[in-house]
Amino acid sequence: MSSAQPFSVVADFPGANIAVDRIDGNDIYVHQELRGTHPWWFHWAFRVLNANGRKLNVHFTERIGFPTMGVAVSTDCGATWHWTGPQALFPKEQAKGFSVTVPGGADDIRFAITIPYQQSNLEDFLQEFPQLRCDTLCHSRHGRPVELLRAGRLDGLANYKLYLSSRHHACEAIGTWVLEAIIRAALADTPTGHWFQENVEILAVPFVDKDGVEEGDQGKDRRPHDHNRDYATELYPEIIAIKKLLPTWIGNSSAIALDLHCPYFDGKCSYMVKVGDKKNLDTQRRFVQILERTHSGPGAFLESDHGDWEKGGNIYKNGVQSTLWLSTLPGILLTGTIEVPYAQIRDAVISIPVTRSFGDSIAKALRELWLS
């Protein structure tokens, strides 16, 4: 296609977010929409149509930050993604942005801050594993069904219970890739998988802020507070439903509850956020030590990334987070947030196989903790 033909920049798919300021030749000027997030966050995703063969320069006109591996790119309508690498980013002394040459065959090229995980990805996962049960937790404010997954031993006789959640902050897609990976490991035809199928009942809410995920919101620091600061005030239907369901579901079982997140845009290590009383902190430390052993790489998980355990758990001034609330439930053996970076865990560039390897190691570490 001739480079003289017009191209378009659009944010018309689930999870997309961009405002186009202007287009000048091959130079595109854009900024991310904050949509009520205050003061600032960095999620964005968009596609460019019919720019085949052009070298596009994408300028961000407002404050932005890029992950260490540059920009995530898809030339097959979001089916697969790769990273540009940091060399695509404008040099440090220039305003922020990136340059990409669009391959000749790419009528539709997508750019995003990280590898997205949307409802369509969950539908693929459900199709691959028919034994996964998908119920409805509640309906979101905008009327979407919020998925509640059930897996593992579901006959009521499981020895242990595992609760997983992600997207309390809508933009943190890698958290959901790892959530899926943990469930995958529990369903696998492996010794770890067989043990989970025999011993563990799993409940999971992959998209706590369902509207934010599908509409491409930042979610993080949403005003007046985001979903992960809502466990005292209960503004959002998802949090009301989780708070109603979890105490009964957990009962007095030996339950583990993990909430998956992503750290700041340039984070390069994965870690567990300290929370709760000394009993939970001690168990967190044991789990972190086990996970360091079960996950030597790619993207090693290290206790040394966790600072001083004596300082106690994180307390936020702007509301109660999910894991702090979970830590008060009687049947909880361990709870914590695991932060997984957008683009890179140490030497490992984030990809679907890297998230699966990490999820596999988390499943092994959970088993070891329960049996220790």
Size of the site for Zn ion (CB under 5 A): 3
**Which residue, among 129, 128, 130, 134, has the nearest Cα to 149 in the 3D structure?**
134
Per-residue x/- track, 166-205, Zn ion (CB under 5 A): ---x--x---------------------------------
Q: How far is the CB of 341 from Zn ion (least distance, A)?
A: 12
| Local structure of 111: helix, strand or coil | strand
286-305 residues near Zn ion, rule: CB under 5 A: none
Distance CA 260, CA 168 (A): 9
Provide CB contacts within 8 A for 198, sequence distance 6+: 153
* Beta strands in 275-330, from DSSP E residues, in sequence order: none
Q: How far is the CB of 64 from Zn ion (least distance, A)?
A: 18
Per-residue x/- track, 102-121, Zn ion (CB under 5 A): --------------------
Residue found by looking up tokens 């977010």 in the block: 17
Provide CB contacts within 8 A for 60, sequence distance 6+: 30, 31, 32, 95, 96, 97
By C-beta, is 43 or 261 nearer to Zn ion?
261
Distance CA 366, CA 349 (A): 24
Q: How far is the CB of 322 from Zn ion (least distance, A)?
A: 10
Is there a contact between 206 and 147 (Cβ–Cβ < 8 Å)? yes
By C-beta, is 56 or 179 nearer to Zn ion?
179
Torsion of the alpha carbons at 56, 61, 64 and 68, rounded to the nearest 10: 20
**Which residue, among 52, 175, 185, 180, has the nearest Cα to 124 in the 3D structure?**
180
By C-beta, is 172 or 201 nearer to Zn ion?
172
By C-beta, is 222 or 364 nearer to Zn ion?
222
Per-residue x/- track, 150-169, Zn ion (CB under 5 A): -------------------x
Q: How far is the CB of 168 from Zn ion (least distance, A)?
A: 6
By C-beta, is 184 or 261 nearer to Zn ion?
261
By C-beta, is 56 or 171 nearer to Zn ion?
171
Per-residue x/- track, 243-272, Zn ion (CB under 5 A): ------------------x-----------
**Which residue, among 221, 367, 358, has the nearest Cα to 290 in the 3D structure?**
367
Q: Which residues bind Zn ion (CB under 5 A)?
A: 169, 172, 261
